[in-house]
Structure 1
Amino acid sequence: MSDAADWEGVPDPLQLDRQVCFALSVAARSVVALYRPLLEPMGLTHPQYLVMLALWEHSPLSVKELSGLLQLDPGTLSPLLKRLEAAGYLQRRRTPEDERTLAVTLTDAGRALRADAEKVPYAVVERLGMGLDELQDLHAALTRVIEAARPR
């Protein structure tokens, strides 16, 4: 736990460019903007791409499982799933074992889209102009931030 002594010599703890939240916000917007021209030809937004990534790795999934993986509430996830279903990339069906459970599965078109998506990570790394080791370190640091910020 940090205290006032840790802040001695820091000119202004409220200085905008010293704020972790500001740096994370700007970095997130900037990186997502790099994805936009790569995803548009596939007909995907960045949030839809994240849904597809989860499904390419784990399909089929229940909406609850998908919500947990993406750390999105079901109310935010539902419109994404509806648009992806309308695009023909996935299907949502009630499971026979439990009618309350909505299962999400990829269609043939959704599975085929993976081949195009495989080029995206390489293009993003190239556009960032950062080394893979540096990006892996950043990912690890951000994962620690996410965990530390998780409600207890």
Structure 2
Amino acid sequence: MTIIATVLPDEDTPAPALIVNDGFFPDIDPAMFREQHRIRDAVTAARAREALIAGILTVGRDLADWSAGQRAAGIVRLNGVPAPTIDGISTLVLLYRRAVFTAAKAEVVERYRDVDLTGAGQRKAEDLDPSVAELRRDSLHAIRDMLAVTRTCVELI
């Protein structure tokens, strides 16, 4: 006979509250961030929230001029900007969420070096540096995709 222990979630634990954004950009769901980016319980809800807010600030700063132009054109929400949809969601909303989530994950990985380690601890902390750089790159790529500009800039010296 085999017995499998299962830890059930505490029914009294409320889902983390949405991070209310500025009205133009969508609110951010910390639970979605945790699920999509495999943020372990070792990262507290407060720390994950702080990383998400930092991501919102960073991405918002990078998109400030673009969003001001959209607002000046009378568009009040990001999902009102004309864009194709995937699975019923504006690609701009998907890209914004990706930019914020990857920026936040980079911060979490930097602060909690063990977040990206395997259960057996097979990776060294130094091996995570490219992961942080890749996350920051992914965030920047999502922003550049929103702005409809190329991802690479090459200049002759």
TM range (shorter): under 0.3
**TM-score, normalised via structure 2 length:** 0.27
Q: Which has the higher strand share?
A: 1
The structure having more radius of gyration, on CA atoms, is 1
Q: TM-score, normalised by structure 1?
A: 0.28
